[in-house]
Structure formats: C-alpha cells, structure tokens
Amino acid sequence: MSRNPNINTTPPRLMRAIRKAMAGTESVQERLDHFVEVITQAMKVKVASIYLRRPSRELELSATKGLKKSAVHKTLMARGEGLVGHVAQTARPLNLADAPAHPLFSYRPETGEEKYSSFLGVPILRGGRTLGVLVVQSEERRNFNEEEVEDLLTVAMVLAEIIVDDERVGGKKGALKGITLTPTKPETITGKAFADGLAEGIAHLHLPPVAPSNLLADNIAAEEIRLEEGVAKLRASVDAMVSGEAASLSRASKEIYETYRMFAYDRKWVKRLREAVHSGLTAEAAVERVRNEHRARLMKSPDPYMRARLHDLEDLANRLLRALSGEALGPKSIPQNAIIFARDLGPAELLDYDRDKLAGIVLEEGAHSSHTSIICRAIGVPLIGRAEGILDRIEVGDVVLIDGESGEVHMRPVESRVANFHLRMNIRGEVAKAYEAVKHKPAVTKDGRHIALQLNAGLIVDLPQLDAAGADGIGLFRTEFQFMVSDFMPRLKEQTDLYRQALEAAGHRPVTFRTLDLGGDKILPYMDPVPEENPAIGWRAIRIGLDRPALLRYQCRALIAAAAGRNLRVMFPMVTTVDEFIAARGLFDTEVKRASSLGHSLPHKIEVGVMLETPSLAWSVRAICDHADFVSVGCNDLMQFFFAADRDNIRVSDRYDPLHPAALSILRFIADGCQKADVPASICGEIAGRPIEAVTLVALGFESLSMPVTGIGPVKAALLALDVGKLKALITPLINVDSRLSTIRDHVREFCMEEGIPV
C-alpha cells in the first residue's frame, strides 16, 4: 500500500464540525439536535434526521433538522418500512436522486418531507447491530457523490459510539426520550448450558468497541501511515506463516496458508480501510467501521460458506487491531471475575485470557461439543452458548450471573436474585467438598467391581486436573487441540514436548493418545475450511490421516519419541472399516521401524487401539478385535451417526436420549464382543461423565470410563453406592429390539433413588 501524495492532512470540514459537537456536555437529545444541525451546514443539505431503533425494533425519528420538529419521537417506521426501514434492514447506504419515485417510499405527512427529492440514508452500526439510520435530504434532484456517502458513514459510526457511551455514563446525559439503546433494567436470557458451573462477574466484551475519544483522526496523513504500517505488519506475519516450516509439512497446509494470505492482500478490504481513514477516522476506527459493515452484511447471509468468510475477515481485523496497538500476543488483560461475551470464540482466543481472572463465558453461538465448550468443561469455566441477541442487551461493566445448570444469563440482577444465587453457590461448594473427600478412594462398586475413571484432556492446562480430580489416567488425549490453539502448525519438537509432559504428569497412570481428529467442526486457525455439505461425515480424522500420510507419520514420530522408555497407547479416530485401521497401524509401525533403525530409544510397551465411533465398526467389533489392542467407544460421534442427528445442531442434537434401548443394545453388543475377544473396552464420550449414564454403562459391562474433569466426582460418588448386579438385572429385560420405550432413564433414576445413589 503506497501513500497517497494528494491526501489532505486536515480532516474534512464535516469531521471538524462533528469533533466540536462532541466536545459539548449536553444531554443525549441536545447532542443529537446539535449533530443534525452541524450535518446540514457542513453537507449543505436541507434535512438531516436521525432514526433510532426502539427495543420493539421500530425506527423512531429521534432528531431532525429540516423536517417538522413536531414529528420527533412521534414518527415510527416498522421493520423494513419505507426507505429508512430498508436501509436498516439491508445495513447498506441508499442513495437516491428521486426518493418519492422509489417504490418503497412511504409518505408521512406529519414530517413534511414530500418536497425533498434526493435522499441519502446510511445505517448506524455498532458491533454488527443496526442501532438506527442517519438520513440527509435535499430539494434538488441529485445523487450524493462517493465522498459524501463516505462522510455520512463516518458520522454514523461516531454517532453510534457517542450515543452508547453517553448512555453508559447515565444521569442526565443518558436520558433520551422514549429510547434506550443500552439496556439498564434487569434482564434474563436463556441459552444452552455448554459447561457447568455458577459464576458471578463483570461483563467484558471480547471485541470491545473503539473508545469514542479515539475515533476521529487529528491528522489524516499520520493515520494513513499508521494504517499502512499496521497492514504491512499483518502481511509480514501472514507471509511468515506461508514460508514457515509448518507450511512445508504438506501440500494441504501450504494451500491453507496461501488462502489466508489472499485475504490479507485483498485489495478491496484494504481500499475500504483506506477510504475510512480518508473520511476522518483513526486507523482503529476505520478497522472497526469496515468490520461492522462486513458483519452486518455477512451475518444476514444464510450461506454457511459466506459466514465462514466473516470469520476469516474478523480474524484479520483483530490481528490488524493488535498490530496497530503494538499489543504483545500474550494473555489479554481482563478485570477480576470477568465474564466474556462474544458472538463466538475459538479455543485459541479463549486461552488468551488470564485463567485466574476469567469467571465465565457467554456466546451468541457455540455448540455443546465444540472445542471451546470442551475446553471450558476441562478447565471448569461455565459457558452459556446460543444466548440469542445477548450482545444487544449487554454493556461492558454490567454485573452478570451465569447459570451453567439452566443456561440462564442474568444481567444487572436485582438484589434478591443475587442473594439466592450466592446460596446456590455455597451449596455447590459443599458438594464439591464431599467429592474431595472421596478423591483418593478407588471407584469400587458395592459388589466389588473396580471401575477406572479417567480424564479427557488435550492441553497442558488439563494436566494438573489429573491429581486435582484423583483420575486414574487420561483415557482420551485429544491431540488436535494443540493444533487448534496455535497460530502455526506445531513442529515435531513442540508435539513431542507436549506428549512427554502429559506422560510425565500421569506418572504410572496410562495416557491414551488419539491421533489428529481434524475436519468437521475442528478447523485450524491456519486452515481454510474446505466447504463440505456434511462435514461431520466428510473428509476428517483418519480419512485425512490416510490421504495425507506425511502428517500422520509426523505425529506418530512425535508420540514414539515422547514415550521413549515408557508405555505408549495410541488410537485412531473415526475408523469405519477394519482395512482403514490396518492401514493406519501400518503407518504407525513404519515409524516404529524408522526410529529403531536410527537407533532411537523406543517405548517400553506399545498398544495401538481404535476409537469405535461409527455404526459400521460397531457391527465389525469381532473383526476389529483381531487387530486392535483396545477399543474406546466415542459415544459423541457414535450417537450422532446412530440417531442421524448432528451433535452440533441445536435443533436436532437433543432429540434422542442415549439411554434409548436401541442405543444401549449397540453399546451392549460392543461390550460383549470385546469381552469375548478379551480386548479391553472403554467409553470416552461426554455421557461417561454423567452419573445416570455412567452407572448404566457400567451395568452394560464397561469397566473404564473417560470423561471431562467435572464428571469424575459425581460419577465416583454414584459408583461407590452402586450394586452393578442389581442394576443389570433391572435393565437387561428393558434393552431388547422389541422395546417400545424411547428411554430407560426414568427406570434407572428411580432405581438410583431407591438405592440412595446420588445422581
């Protein structure tokens, strides 16, 4: 990007006038009146009006210069009504020479606008929301030029920040008749509880808006230079990814980085940024404005591919903001007991936050089995997802209670709610103490069955949980997490180091490493998702491993090196046929031979197992047992394929119960098949961590369960009170192909109540 030598260093006249208008200390209404006055003078138009969105989503005329004052706070436009409604709905500017001739023109006699021909309306955007519409009109028929459109967009952005900031300050300034754009009343929104726990804290926005004081440029040329430098830094970092060691790993990774670079060099994106700076914004505000525009448009797109593009562009915008601020890429600073609010949050972004200060997370999107949810469960941070529209209702600094049992988010709660919440937090604390008391006891049932309770893990942050929870080992180490949380493909040494640390933390306890399970919803930050119709049953996991053997072999090499002199347990994900397993095991064996021929020290003992998570492999259980040293049933995937219900799709993921007799039949079939072949079988899906499901799985014959850390205490407490023989006798007749039951949950729950089993 080269500097434009013709650029004027002084901000445009309109911007200078706006800056003056900003300096006043009047109420919000006076400020809006002042703004419209200034706009008409600087743009030489007859009319300037501000329409703001009410909570009911109607647009209300809130200030005007040129239309009849008596219409202010009276004229309301319904969603999508008239030209103003159209601008709000499309989140795009509308520039017309002859507005009354437009089919959407809606005549409002009370405003007296019929004599004005030309119309320019721009959305007032903030964080992807449309707060309102800013309109200028004049009598003569003419189209506004590009510069005027740009200027008005810039004023709209400044307006959005000022209104919200004034409201936040409150008092006289915050009183805008009839409308509040920032919420002040107590409110509750119910989403989905994706990670358990109760938290009280202070709202913190993951992507905070640029502060109003930092919106307008003092010197445009200086801002242009800052923008240039920021973009150059951003590009250099993306170039480094492309030419880095990781990119040479495979053709696929090279392609991934190249796509990323394409976005960083996108001329249109940079052109929009530059235009925004030329209109008088600081470099940061320009990034924010262009991001708001993209969000407002792409979020409306029903096409998932377009929405994925939004993620790429947001990521680039974030990187650019960080480059502009010169911020180091270390942990992000947040207040004590921060509750992070975001549209969505990747695992890497989550781990950027200081764990000691993070109290909870609330997302508008997210999914129960997404990796962010899995990590929150692992580190014990409550997470509420699918909290629709919550970013519209929350402001930085609001007091928030989040309930990871019910999925409720209470914003600005009243005192009695807070008191009640504290009571529940105390009770949970007492229960946690009770689990602590049995931490060092083995999980032996009343009739003497010893059940291994293991941990699902994948990151260094998980390792201290092994001792904290008193787990018997790591039953599922999700190796892809390391790949997902880093900006670059982890090198051999980094992979080896992590695996070695996991083995060291476990000591004498077993660790079962699962090779990369990428694809589906597990997308790498440096990998452009290959659009697929059905990603969960697409090119993922072992399928990628077998098609790109270099990547899988590289990982096996790291695992073999890390386990030198120790026991190594490895398993492959998403295997559907015995042949696939044999091929994957062949690649692993090649790496063992390679290490041996190079004279490297080898693991003391090696076991190679399989994840059983597809129905086809379940029906091949006897055959797979001839080749695999152990079987680990991945119930998350097995159940989604068995019930044909996408685990990440909120509309269908809760439609079935894993305690359906048909699902339990297939699990029993697997347990029996493994038992007959004398091959150890365990369960490693999320259901293993829920007491009712866990006691049922044990009654089916599974003696090893691997689960999120939060499950270990409750499951152990239940197992210590369980007589397996009795439960087996109860459920065996219920699990048969003739059953008309849709679940045996009530039967198991009743049994547990009678037996005094805490579930």
Contact residues: Mg ion, CB under 5 A: 613, 634, 637
User: Which residue is it, tokens 């379940």?
Assistant: 618
User: Which of Mg ion, ligand PEP, none has residue 234 at its interface (CB below 5 to 8 Å by kind)?
Assistant: none
User: Which residue is it, tokens 């790591």?
Assistant: 474
470, two tokens: 């008193």
DSSP 687: G
Distance between alpha carbon 653 and the CA centroid of its chain, in Å? Answer: 18
DSSP 519: B
Tell me the C-alpha distance between 585 and 606, whole Å: 12
| Of residues 634 and 711, the one with the C-beta less far from Mg ion | 634
User: Which of ligand PEP, Mg ion, none has residue 692 at its interface (CB below 5 to 8 Å by kind)?
Assistant: none
Q: Which residues pair with 548 in a beta bridge?
A: none
Least distance CB 632 / ligand PEP (angstroms): 8
Distance between alpha carbon 8 and the CA centroid of its chain, in Å? Answer: 42
Which residues between 637 and 656 bind ligand PEP (CB under 6 A)?
Answer: 637
Binding ligand PEP by CB under 6 A: which of 635, 667, 681, 692? 635
Which residues between 680 and 699 bind ligand PEP (CB under 6 A)?
Answer: 684-685
| Of residues 633 and 717, the one with the C-beta less far from Mg ion | 633
For position 636 contacting ligand PEP by CB under 6 A, the verdict is yes
State the amino acid at position 35 in one-letter form: F
Q: Which stretch binds ligand PEP (CB under 6 A): 346-354, 483-491, 630-638, 654-662?
A: 630-638
| Of residues 382 and 711, the one with the C-beta less far from Mg ion | 711
Task: Spell out a b/e string for 722-758, using b for 16 or more CB atoms within 10 Å of the CB, else e.
Answer: bbbeebeeebeeebeeeeebebbbebbeebbeebebe
Residues 659 and 693: beta-carbon distance below 8 Å: yes
For position 478 contacting ligand PEP by CB under 6 A, the verdict is yes
Which residues between 352 and 411 bind ligand PEP (CB under 6 A)?
Answer: 369
Conformation bin of residue 373: beta by default, left when phi > 0, alpha when psi is -120 to 50: alpha
| Of residues 226 and 478, the one with the C-beta less far from ligand PEP | 478
| Of residues 33 and 472, the one with the C-beta less far from ligand PEP | 472
Q: What does the per-residue mask of binding to ligand PEP show for 73-112, with x meaning CB under 6 A?
A: ----------------------------------------
User: Which of ligand PEP, Mg ion, none has residue 476 at its interface (CB below 5 to 8 Å by kind)?
Assistant: ligand PEP
Least distance CB 634 / ligand PEP (angstroms): 3
Closest CA to 23 of 275, 157, 212: 212
Q: Which stretch binds ligand PEP (CB under 6 A): 110-118, 260-268, 631-639, 674-682?
A: 631-639
Q: Is 330 exposed, middle or buried (0-12, 13-18, 19+ CB in 10 A)?
A: exposed
| Of residues 199 and 574, the one with the C-beta less far from Mg ion | 574
User: Which of ligand PEP, Mg ion, none has residue 280 at its interface (CB below 5 to 8 Å by kind)?
Assistant: none
For position 323 contacting ligand PEP by CB under 6 A, the verdict is no
| Of residues 166 and 686, the one with the C-beta less far from ligand PEP | 686
Neighbours of 352 (CB within 10 A): 16
Tell me the C-alpha distance between 53 and 179, whole Å: 8
Which residues between 653 and 672 bind ligand PEP (CB under 6 A)?
Answer: none
Least distance CB 322 / ligand PEP (angstroms): 30
DSSP string covering 419-473, please?
A: HHHHHHHHHHHHHHHHHHHTTTS--B-TTS-B-EEEEEE-SGGGTHHHHHHT-S-
Q: Which stretch binds ligand PEP (CB under 6 A): 85-93, 287-295, 302-310, 628-636?
A: 628-636
Q: Which residues contact residue 347 at a Cβ distance below 8 angstroms, ignoring those fewer than 6 apart?
A: 371, 372, 375, 481, 484, 485
Total residues interacting with ligand PEP, rule: CB under 6 A: 11
| Of residues 203 and 574, the one with the C-beta less far from ligand PEP | 574
Least distance CB 613 / ligand PEP (angstroms): 5
Distance between alpha carbon 234 and the CA centroid of its chain, in Å? Answer: 23
Tell me the C-alpha distance between 48 and 120, whole Å: 10
Tell me the C-alpha distance between 373 and 511, whole Å: 22
Closest CA to 180 of 468, 412, 7: 412
| Of residues 203 and 542, the one with the C-beta less far from Mg ion | 542
- Angle, helices 146-169 vs 283-298, to 10°: value is 100
| Of residues 272 and 540, the one with the C-beta less far from ligand PEP | 540
Neighbours of 169 (CB within 10 A): 10
| Of residues 334 and 476, the one with the C-beta less far from ligand PEP | 476
State the amino acid at position 641 in one-letter form: F
DSSP string covering 340-353, please?
A: EEES---HHHHHTB
Binding ligand PEP by CB under 6 A: which of 160, 231, 476, 608? 476
| Of residues 238 and 551, the one with the C-beta less far from ligand PEP | 551
Least distance CB 377 / ligand PEP (angstroms): 11
Residues 732 and 711: beta-carbon distance below 8 Å: no
Residue nearest to Mg ion (CB): 637
Least distance CB 369 / ligand PEP (angstroms): 6
Least distance CB 613 / Mg ion (angstroms): 5
Which residues between 210 and 239 bind ligand PEP (CB under 6 A)?
Answer: none
Conformation bin of residue 260: beta by default, left when phi > 0, alpha when psi is -120 to 50: alpha
612, two tokens: 């059983």
338-342 and 187-190 beta bridge pairing = unpaired
Q: Which stretch binds ligand PEP (CB under 6 A): 260-268, 322-330, 629-637, 724-732?
A: 629-637
User: Which of ligand PEP, Mg ion, none has residue 190 at its interface (CB below 5 to 8 Å by kind)?
Assistant: none
Q: Which residues pair with 193 in a beta bridge?
A: 384
Neighbours of 434 (CB within 10 A): 12
User: Which of Mg ion, ligand PEP, none has residue 635 at its interface (CB below 5 to 8 Å by kind)?
Assistant: ligand PEP
Least distance CB 573 / Mg ion (angstroms): 6
Binding ligand PEP by CB under 6 A: which of 230, 382, 519, 634? 634
| Of residues 228 and 637, the one with the C-beta less far from ligand PEP | 637
| Of residues 224 and 613, the one with the C-beta less far from Mg ion | 613
Conformation bin of residue 386: beta by default, left when phi > 0, alpha when psi is -120 to 50: left
Least distance CB 350 / ligand PEP (angstroms): 17
Binding ligand PEP by CB under 6 A: which of 613, 646, 693, 703? 613
Tell me the C-alpha distance between 523 and 261, whole Å: 17
Least distance CB 631 / Mg ion (angstroms): 14
User: Which of ligand PEP, Mg ion, none has residue 413 at its interface (CB below 5 to 8 Å by kind)?
Assistant: none
421, two tokens: 């919440």
| Of residues 633 and 744, the one with the C-beta less far from Mg ion | 633
The residues of the shown chain that bind ligand PEP, judged by CB under 6 A, are 369, 476, 478, 517, 613, 634-637, 684-685
